[in-house]
Amino acid sequence: MLSAQAPKRQIDSLKVLIRLKDSTNLVFVNDLIEKHGWPKPSEVGFQGIQALFLIVQHANLRVQKRYYPLILEAEKNGNMLSNNVAILEDRIAIREGRPQTYGSQGHYDMERKKTIIYPLKDPENLDALRATRGLPKMTDYKKDWNLQDYKSYLLQANELLKKEAAFWLAK
């Protein structure tokens, strides 16, 4: 694994390889789902479902939105973990420029040396919302989570949200 001090050239090279692998994996997922629909754990195992989910989770917004109904249906039928669906819902919301529900998406701020959580729909009830999808309390997920701290950087988080949405909606 490369450290944060690794030369930019090495990091850029690694990013290219990751994008290539992600696109190759996505071709496989598209073919599989076109032929068989979203599989069940009994067909591909729990790890297979997790792998498929992660490929979709790391795909572009268009792909995420295309497969979201299938993933939601799989959750309804007990074939997908609810916490995975929550994370995907948050990622889609952020990429569309909307506040997230479960607080799973953030941006690492190099200056502050901390993750800035993108805007939340209901920060006052975050832990209760997280519990509905089997997610741990926010302080267990992000050890330095603090509602007052979140509120103090909300203006910056909203600006980051606008930039993130502009990037994804332009694709």
Same domain, 76 and 14: yes
Count of other CB atoms within 10 angstroms of residue 35: 7
Residue 87 lies in a domain: no
How many other β-carbons are positioned within 10 Å of the β-carbon of residue 51?
A: 15
- Token digits of residue 32: 């599989």
The alpha carbons of the chain give a radius of gyration, in whole angstroms, of 17
Domain hosting residue 48, numbered range: 7-80
Which of 142, 138, 140 has the alpha carbon at shortest distance from 130? 138
Residue 98 above 70 pLDDT? Answer: yes
41 and 72 part of one domain: yes
What is the value of pTM for the model shown? 0.88
**Identity of the residue numbered 148:** Q
Note the pLDDT tens digit of each residue in 66-75. Answer: 999 999 999 9
Write out pLDDT tens, residues 22-76. 889 999 999 999 999 999 999 999 999 999 999 999 999 999 999 999 999 999 9
Residues 29 and 73 in one domain: yes
Choosing from 55, 80, 105, the residue where a domain stops is 80
* Residue 147 lies inside a defined structural domain of this protein: yes
The whole-angstrom separation of Cα 56 and Cα 89 is 12
Residue 153, pLDDT above cutoff 80:
yes
Residue 36 lies in a domain: yes
| Predicted confidence (pLDDT) per residue in 1-21, tens digit | 445 556 778 877 888 888 888
The total domain count for the chain is 2
* 74 shares its domain with 103: no
Let me know if residue 137 belongs to a domain: yes
Give CA–CA dist 67/89, Å, rounded: 11
Domain boundary among 47, 80, 113: 80
